[in-house]
Chains A and B, each alone.
Chain A
């Protein structure tokens, strides 16, 4: 089994927390000590300066009183010689020249500079300053007073080199301490973090193995603390998990058996279902074919009615021609010219009737293929089939279609759809009887590939309640015996399934609009619907 090594996050956290704390404490104490040490050093410098000043004043007191400046100079030169830490001395009497002594020479000063003179007061004063070639001088001013008489001041310029050196040493020591702390942090922190995190990491690793399914692992950590308790608890938990797992396996096996049985049953059921589906599909196809057949039959029925209407007028005319011939013959006025004229007229009527038959026959002609056809011609021809009926009911049919607009598709089926839509419009116009019943057919190209045909009436529109049902098979709003309810259903099937277009309807202010959108299709042969 693959051992998964967990990330050493706890180790790192413990290590960094430990490191941070140790470093923070070290830095805190180190930087607490610095100002304290500086203060202490300044106090030491003050005490030292005061002691030196007292010593000089005491040693030269007689000379000061007796104005034995030679002794004062001699003594102070000696003092400087023996104290490399003193840069200079100034003996400054209230009146007269001031004696300036440094490590290399001595001379008299008529006046002190203003900064130095400003330090001369009743009390001891000091300042750390730069003076001529001396940098960071601890300039100490000690008032010289004998028997409550202010004689003058003693200025001593101490080098702060020792002080600076001590401070630098202190900084170095702090750096050493911090460095030592860092080393300690690295070493002790590493072992401390490992002491804390190793057992946790081990248990975590074991837990990961358990999570991965290995229930044979056990913790070997033996400690008398919380980790030890955790280790024991872990082992108990794994034992418990193992028992649960065994029970689960048992249940799983039973379940698998049950699932097997069910699966077989389901397979049998599926096999039966497949058979049933195929049967249903076949049934559906049969039914659909039947529907189409019914539709075509209904159409044919309607067409026969239409033929009857179409033929009614020429038949009447033919009858009139025959009556005229008979009347002329009885009157003896049947001449050749009238005969010829009547025969020509009869031929024309018979030809028209024959043409009507041809049109209807063409409409029902099977084995149509996808091929380009003139949209206007097809719509015009289809409309003419119903022309007699429309005129009879004063329904005005208008076709707005470019003469040269070509559609690639099934011409016969397209004309059947147009016929259905005109028929439906005619029927609803007859039902609702608007003042000027009209059907408008508009055709246009909405793009290079798309042709849009809109069949619109002014019968008031499709009721909202039935909008979702108008394409359902056998749904009709017409009176019993007048409608089959398959016209729109078949139209949608033809447009969307056979011509890969769309048929949708919407209402406008006048009435219903049926919109056919057709995409240009490549020219291929296809099987007839029936």
Chain B
């Protein structure tokens, strides 16, 4: 077996575990030979169904990772994937040395982890290496041409997506000095971004916050979506979830290299397809700066907002 294939299989396990929140058996092992990952569950359920995740976990990753890593010369004594509903818990386990890789939205990573605690990692990406920007979309027939026109409109946004929340809030605070929650009585929380696009299309909402990938998928499914929905504003972000590696993890370079060549193997590609990403991309810690800046601006504006 050549180097690429062996490493891609290992990366398969890594990616998978990056996306999962399944708690494996309690593993107490030397972190020189383990791969433990922590996942923020609210940010991954939209990307893959639980059944797909289960299949890929049980079949592709768990066994394959240990075997292929060993073939690659990496002795992996244990693998672990931990699911967190709160970033606080993830942070606690990280502090305990339980996690080697963390997977969560960039805003939350920025809030809960200092830059010197983590090292460069990887993220999913779209076709053509496009960033999966956060889009502010509106119905074309509602005469909405600026943020100022959003007042009183029906808003649809992703449930639990804090980046959408602070992004929209920041825009409202900039324009109205008031939170959108106060100016817009109708705010719908949807579990899937595609549903937000559909709600706009069928005139169930006037304004929506969706990631570029979801919007693109919906326009491909129905080109008429572009006629009825237009992009009013966007916030640049690489992906909905970022993966960073514990700075003290000794296999960081190996794992990152395997992850980045993961798309080259057929099996790795198959796994990536489940998570709707063609390949993984190198992710610098500094890329958190943009969301960190937004978060700080939001906090600042909020402090001066009209109560």
Chain A residues proximal to chain B, CB less than 8 Å: 68-71, 73-74, 77, 104-108
Contact = CB atoms under 8 A, between A and B. Distances in A.
Interface in B215-231: 220-224
B198 A70 contact: yes
Interface string B154-174: 000000000000000000000
B107 to A, nearest CB: 27
Interface of B: 192, 194-195, 198-199, 201-202, 204, 220-224
B221 A70 contact: no
A74 B195 contact: yes
Given A71-B195, A74-B192, A74-B195, A106 B221 contact: yes
A352 B192 CA distance: 168
A73 B224 contact: no
B76 to A, nearest CB: 34
A73 B198 contact: yes
Contact of A77 (B201, B221, B224): B221
Contact of B201 (A70, A71, A104): A70
A70 B202 contact: yes
Contacts of B194: 74
Nearest to A69: B202
A107 B221 CA distance: 8
A104 B221 CA distance: 6
B195 A70 contact: yes
A108 B222 CA distance: 9
Nearest to A108: B224
A77 B218 CA distance: 11
Contacts of B199: 70
A77 B201 CA distance: 15
Given A69-B202, A70-B195, A108-B224, 7 more contacts: A68-B202, A69-B198, A70-B202, A71-B195, A74-B195, A77-B221, A104-B221
B224 A74 contact: no
Given A68-B204, A70-B202, A70-B204, A105 B195 contact: no
- Chain B at the A interface: mostly helix, strand, loop or mixed? helix
B198 A107 contact: no
Contacts of A69: 198, 202
Nearest to B201: A70
A104 B217 CA distance: 10
Contacts of A107: 222-224
A68 B198 CA distance: 9
A77 B222 CA distance: 11
B202 A105 contact: no
A69 B199 CA distance: 8
A107 B222 CA distance: 6
Contacts of A71: 195, 198
A99 to B, nearest CB: 9
A68 B195 CA distance: 11
Nearest to B194: A74
B117 to A, nearest CB: 40
7 contacts: A70-B199, A71-B195, A71-B198, A74-B195, A77-B221, A105-B221, A108-B224
A108 B202 CA distance: 11
A227 to B, nearest CB: 68
A74 B201 CA distance: 12
A69 B201 CA distance: 9
A70 B194 CA distance: 9
B85 to A, nearest CB: 25
Contacts of B198: 69-71, 73-74
Contacts of A105: 220-223
B188 to A, nearest CB: 10
A212 B62 CA distance: 90
Contacts of B223: 105, 107
Contacts of A108: 224
A108 B228 CA distance: 13
Contacts of B201: 70
A108 B201 CA distance: 11
B102 to A, nearest CB: 31
A112 to B, nearest CB: 18
B137 to A, nearest CB: 14
Given A74-B192, A74-B194, A74-B195, A106 B202 contact: no
A104 B218 CA distance: 11
Nearest to B196: A70
A30 to B, nearest CB: 42
A71 B222 CA distance: 15
A97 to B, nearest CB: 10
Which of B192, B199, B202, B220 has most chain A Cβ within 10 Å?
Answer: B202
A99 B127 CA distance: 29
A107 B220 CA distance: 11
Contacts of A77: 221
Contacts of B220: 105
Which of B194, B201, B221 has most chain A Cβ within 10 Å?
Answer: B221
A110 to B, nearest CB: 12
Contacts of A104: 221
Given A68-B204, A69-B202, A70-B202, A106 B222 contact: yes
3 cross-chain pairs, A with B, having the tightest CB-CB distances, nearest first: A70-B198, A69-B202, A105-B221
Which of A69, A71, A73, A108 has most chain B Cβ within 10 Å?
Answer: A73
Nearest to A102: B221
Contacts of A106: 221-222
A109 to B, nearest CB: 11
